[in-house]
Amino acid sequence: MVDPADSAEAHAARVRAFYADYHDRMGNTLGWPDLHAARQTWAAACADPLTDWTAARSVLDVGSGEGHLLGELRARGFRGAYVGVELLEGPHRAAIRRYGDDPDATFVCADFDALDLGHTGFDWVMSLGSLAVRQPDQAACDRRALTRLVRLARTGLVLYVNDRSRVPPAELNDLPDLAAHDLGALCELLAELGCPARNLRWYAADHSVIVHALRLDLDAP
């Protein structure tokens, strides 16, 4: 039986609580330190020789926030179908206001952990920050989320996480519920799931890292 503290509802409640007063504490609603850092994140996530956006047919964006990643992808020649899944209604509505006219974009307001996407697959599955809120059962939570993300990805994953070994203690004092990941453990897990990390890109404040991971079966002859 799942401990109620570790249920999908409890996880979602912690994410809601983290972002509920984020604006008051941090002065913005994006979940990034500032707009400059946000732009660096979207650019670092998309700028990689592993990702040919002009050839990609579909992207699933988990924790899509206000939908800005779609703008970055389109600017880089992505013409495929985009699905953004966002838990919080405010950012979800902002994404629709901003990109609702895009005929190949779908925005879903839902808890990804409780959302049934059936057997749908996406060329790329991206998660920029959906693992960034600390959960008491962090390792189990990461395993569950990444197992699902890998299953949904035909080519690979693009993930943003905070590198625990580099996050300044002051930042964790300000944001005690920020999840900071052990990158070694994360990479081991990705390898075990058959989607090893091929490229780690530190940027911005140096503890932000973008992980590009490719499914192993792509290498099969």
Ligand X SMILES: C[S@@+](CC[C@H](N)C(=O)[O-])C[C@H]1O[C@@H](n2cnc3c(N)ncnc32)[C@H](O)[C@@H]1O
Nearest to 195 by CA among 138, 149, 160: 149
In the complex, least distance from residue 89 CB atom to ligand X, rounded to whole angstroms? 10
Alpha helices in the chain (DSSP H): 8-20, 22-26, 35-46, 68-75, 89-99, 138-152, 169-174, 183-192
Compose the 75-114 pattern: x for residues touching ligand X by CB under 6 A, - for all others. ----------xxxx--x-------------------xxx-
Name which position in 19, 53, 78, 124 contacts ligand X (CB under 6 A): 19
Task: Give DSSP secondary structure letters for 156-181.
Answer: EEEEEEEBTTTS-HHHHHH-TTB--B
Q: What are 82's strand-pairing partners?
A: 59, 105
Query: Which of 67/156 has CB closer to ligand X?
Result: 67
In the complex, least distance from residue 64 CB atom to ligand X, rounded to whole angstroms? 6
AA letter at 161: V
Query: Which of 110/187 has CB closer to ligand X?
Result: 110
In the complex, least distance from residue 218 CB atom to ligand X, rounded to whole angstroms? 25
What Å distances lie between residue 105 and 71, 84, 115, 154, CA to CA? 11, 8, 18, 19
Compose the 176-195 pattern: x for residues touching ligand X by CB under 6 A, - for all others. --------------------
* Helices 35-46, 68-75: crossing angle, 10 deg rounding: 50
Query: Which of 90/121 has CB closer to ligand X?
Result: 90
Compose the 126-155 pattern: x for residues touching ligand X by CB under 6 A, - for all others. --xxx-x-----------------------
The dihedral of CA 145, 163, 184, 150: what is its sign? positive
Contacts with ligand X by CB under 6 A lie at: 15, 19, 30-31, 38, 41, 63-66, 68-69, 85-88, 91, 111-113, 128-130, 132
